[in-house]
Structure 1
Amino acid sequence: MHETATTTPVCVAGVDGCRAGWIAVFRWIGSERASEVQIFSRFADLLDSKHVPSKIAVDMPIGLPEHIGQAGRGPEKAVRPLLGMRQSTVFSIPARAAIYCEDYREACSAALAHSTPAKKVSKQAFHIFPKIREIDQLMTPELEERVFEVHPEVAFWRLNGQEPIAVPKKVKGASYPPGLDARRDLLVQFDYAKSFLDQKPPKGAARDDLMDAAVNAVIAERLFHGQAKPFPSDYGRDERGLRMAIWA
C-alpha cells in the first residue's frame, strides 16, 4: 500500500496600487479554495496578512538606482520591446533622490541632477512616488524571497503566448471595457471564475486594479513554481542591494 503525501495549501498574492491603498488577490496552490480579494491601506499590513502569502507579486518598482543613465532603469528598458503598442504603460522611473521628493518641481530638479542625459519626471510617474517610497522603506534583500516586482501588461504578455494584448485597458485615462473584457477572458483560462473577475471591485479600487492584481497573482504562482523569469535576466542591484527586475 502506498502512502499519499499530503501537502499544505500555499497562498500567493498579486498586488496593485489603488486609490484606497493596495488591492490584493489571493490564490491558493494545492487547494480548491476560491480566490479572494482584499484592500490594504498599507503594504506592511499585506506582508503581515493572516493568509501569510509565500510569494507576493506587486506592480511597483523595487530597487532604485542613485543615478539613471541613457538607457534608463534596467527593467523598463528590458520589457518595453516586448509590449509593442502597450509599451507606454511602462513608466520611466527616476533615481531614488527624485522618488523621495514630495513636490513635483523638486522631483524634476532631483531627477535632472541624477540622470545622464538630464531628464525630468513625468506626472504619471510622480503620482505613484508615495507607493514606491512605501515599498522602498520596507524592502530588504532578505524580503526578496517573498516580494517581487511585476508589471501587469508584461504578465498578460506572458500568459498570452508572449504576445501583448491588442486592445488597451484604458483610453484617454478612462477604463476601456473591451480591453478589460479581453484581459478577463484570458484570466479565465488560468483558473479564475468569470464571476470573480466581473465582481464589483472593493471600495477604493477600480475594475482595472482588480484585473491587474489578478494577473499579478498568476505570476506569483509562477514564482512559487520557479517558472517566472526576470527581465533583464542579468539584472543588477541598487546601492542598497535590492534586485532590479520585472518578473513574468
Structure 2
Amino acid sequence: MPNRPPRRRGRTALLIAAAAVLGIVAGTATGYAVQADRAPTPLPMLAQPGLAYPAKSLPKGKEPEPLSAEEDSQVRTDGDLRKLLLKRPAGARESTEAGAADGWLSLDEYARDFEEPGFMFEDLAGAGFRRAAGASWEQGEYRETEIVLVQFRPSMSLGAGSHALMQQGYMHASWRGAGNTGDPIKGSSNGRYYVYDVKREAGYLPQYRARAIAQRGDVMFDIHIYDTEPISKKDIRTLAERQLERL
C-alpha cells in the first residue's frame, strides 16, 4: 500500500478544537458561580500550646539573677574595653606606640596604622566600627609588643570576623605578610599566629616580627611583637591564648 501524504488540518478539526476550548471556559465559569453561592468553609482551629512564661510578672525580689560575665561574654565586652587588654608584664616599660595615652584609639587613629588608611577607614566604618583600645610595652633593649582590640556594632556583616579574616588573608604573602599560613590559636575557631622571616637591610639591625589575629564575638584582636632578636612561636602563641581568654 502506497504511503499516504500527511493530512492537512482542515476546517472541521479547527471547529472541534474551538468547541473544546469553549467547553472548558464555560465549565470553569460555572464552577466559580457555584462556589460563590456556597457558604465559606470555616478553617480548623490552630494548635496553640500553653504559654511558657507566667501570665503575671514575678513579684519584686523574685526575678532571676542577670547572667554573669562568665556566662555571657557581652557583659564583659560592653564595659570598659581597655580592661580586657592584657596587662603589662612585670619589668616591662610602658609605651604609647599603640595609640593615645589613655588607651583609646579613634577610627582615624586605627586606620592610619595600615598601608592604605583611606580604604581602611571606609571599610571599617561600613562594617560597623564601634571602638578600639590599645596597649603597648617595651622589654629588653629593642623588643616591643602592641595589642589592639577592635569592637564592632551588631550587624549582618559580622564586622569583627570579617576584619580578622581580611587581615589573615594576605599574611601568607611574603611581600605584605609573614610569608606563611601561620598556626591555629588554641581555643579559637578562626585565630592564627605568625612568625615572619627576618628582614635585613644594609646599615640596620635585623628586624624580627610576629603577629596574632583572632576574633571572639564582636571583638577582634591584633597582636604584634617586634625585636632585633629572633621571636619564638611560643612567645606570640602564649600572648594570643592569654588575650583570647579575656574576651
Q: What's the TM-score bracket when you normalise by the shorter of the two chains? A: under 0.3
| TM-score (normalizing by structure 1) | 0.24
The structure whose residues are more often strand, as a share, is 2
The structure whose residues are more often helix, as a share, is 1
Higher CA-based Rg: 2
Per chain length, whose mean CA-contact separation is higher, i.e. which structure has more relative contact order (CA < 8 Å, sep 6+)?
Answer: 1
| TM-score (normalizing by structure 2) | 0.24
